[in-house]
Amino acid sequence: MLMASTAAPPKLKAEFPLGAELLHDPVLNKGTAFTLEERRELQLEGLLPARVSTIEAQEERVLENFRKQPNDLAKYVLLLALQDRNETLYYRTVMHHVDEMMPIVYTPTVGQACQEFGHIFRRPRGIYLNRYDRGRMVSVLRNWPRKDVRIIVVTDGERILGLGDLGASGMGIPVGKLALYSVCAGVDPTQCLPVMLDVGTDNEAFLDAPLYLGLQERRLRGAEYDSLVEEFVLAVNEVFPNAVIQFEDFANVNAFPLLDRYRNRTSCFNDDIQGTAAVTLAGLLTAIRITGGTLKEQRIVFLGAGEAGIGVADLVVSALVRQGISEEKARQNFWFLDSKGLMTVNRGDLTGRKLRYAQDMEFTADLAEVVRRVRPTAIIGVSGKPKMFTREVLELMAQLNPRPIVFSLSNPTSKSECTAEDAYYWTDGRAIFASGSPFPNVSYHGKTFVPRQGNNAYIFPGVGMGVIAFGVKRVTDDMFFAAAETLAGLVSESDIGKGAIYPPLTDIREVSAHIAAAVGEVAYKSGLATVPRPENLLEFVKGAQYQPVYKSYV
């Protein structure tokens, strides 16, 4: 016969919330997996059904309900609700079914979730800061209940994926990215903080929408915007001095200046610029294993000249400089089309980073014409404009190259420059293809191709884990270059034989550990690591990875 105790031991009162309060703490809650002894000691008797579940049974229940949902957005809401009540079970389930659940937790479904954020909102996650918090950001950040924050993903919501200005509704992006840090690299979720810098929105639909949850004001610009971001960065350094800041989905007008302003002042990086660059460079390095030749022999046409495109080109230029090629000569290997067309020296509207990549040739806005003139070995789409890699463009690429490289990297799926099926069918099955969003396998003339995403999740979780594990003071381009080389080196010949130029997502935790170790190696060589050097960097990282298992409380 079970007897209920009237009170928990004093030590438990000091260490744990009790009763219903414990069941509402997502970090500590085990739900029906609390043992009978724990239920007695923690004042949970009567608050749970009688049967004690295993975590395996709980996971099976989640899967059953997940697979019953009518659409992907409903699956997203179900997983978010699970994360809100039981983080251990959430991370365990997503880790064990990463192929099935990553497209729900992140792209492409997260895009729809952000668009409908005000409609599906259940419970706040993270910190929201706006201009009315000026002068008080330190105290606002101190409201966050977890004090050992090591990774912050921050956005102002102006360029969410390929969807544009979603304002405060873009909070789904930091939440999703940080979930991937834990799932893919083993960063402790209690050390993660999503932040929304709500500086207003220029999205007309949101300015009048009754369910929009952000400031219904026009976007802050100029010096006032810069001052707000400055206060935020300084507040982070004071409240969470061990945290690395990941800038996410800022518009071009702010993304590059913010990275330039803070990269040498604090531990930070921009995933849209540096993460995208590294995963794309890794894809190119793998593709060259198939095509033969060298990186310096590649002629690359970019559709899109924003953070992603320029970031990729900058990192490849850095790689070529390492091989002894001048920056000016290296940049001659790239041709960009922005929203107006080919970036040429005779265009009077190009400035800054765009001007560095302007080519001395006749202007045209026709991608197919650029392909005819340039005769590229690779085309890379980072435009956010769907179906721009037309049949004409892909057939031209196949005429010019025995194995044309086609990277359709815009996301979500609705923004992709072409589908995997288009790429394989219109190149006679010869394309080396990667995408920004997931596509199903493609069967063509008796062969099954396995297209894999050029997903930043192959890069940023491992980089972040390396920065955290080794106490890295600054994040450098050399670390992203090392991450790209490491990722490319982990692609097996078996993967390549299937048409895949990235490892399977099921290996993502192992991949991230290797990337974290590579980041550590660079950090120690450059004097940027603050943790005493372990004997084996890879084993040190693996030993530090978060494991989603229940702890015993009694």
Active site residues: 106, 177
Name the token pair of 121: 């909102």
Length of the chain: 554
Q: Using an 8 Å Cβ cutoff, are 179 and 128 in contact?
A: no
Between CA 436 and CA 248 the distance in angstroms is: 16
Q: Using an 8 Å Cβ cutoff, are 149 and 192 in contact?
A: yes
Q: Using an 8 Å Cβ cutoff, are 100 and 159 in contact?
A: no
Name the token pair of 20: 């219903």
Residue type, 143: N
Between CA 266 and CA 89 the distance in angstroms is: 34
Residue 335 is inside which H or E element, if any? strand 334-338
Between CA 549 and CA 554 the distance in angstroms is: 16
Strands 442-444 and 300-303: unpaired
Q: Which residues of 131-162 are buried (b: 16+ CB within 10 A; e: fewer)?
A: bebeeebeebbeeeeeeebbbbbbbbbbbbbb
Name the token pair of 278: 């590294």
| Residue 539 C-beta-side C-alpha neighbours within 13 Å | 4
Between CA 246 and CA 238 the distance in angstroms is: 17
Between CA 367 and CA 305 the distance in angstroms is: 14
CA-to-CA dists, residue 79 to 31, 171, 465, 496, angstroms: 16, 16, 24, 33
Name the token pair of 282: 């890794």
Name the token pair of 209: 């929408």
Strands 405-408 and 447-449: unpaired
DSSP string, 391-434: HHHHHHHHHH-SS-EEEE--SSGGG-SS-HHHHHHTTTT--EEE
- 169: helix, coil or strand? helix
Between CA 162 and CA 410 the distance in angstroms is: 7
What lies within 8 Å, CB to CB, of 234 at 6+ separation is none
DSSP letter at 195? E
CA end-to-end span of the chain, whole Å?
Answer: 20
Of 466, 470, 479, the C-alpha closest to 513 is 466
Burial of 324 (C-beta count, 10 Å sphere; 0-12/13-18/19+): exposed
Question: Helix/strand/coil (H, E, C) string of 429-472?
Answer: CCCEEEECCCCCCEEECCEEECCEECCHHHCHHHHHHHHHHCCC
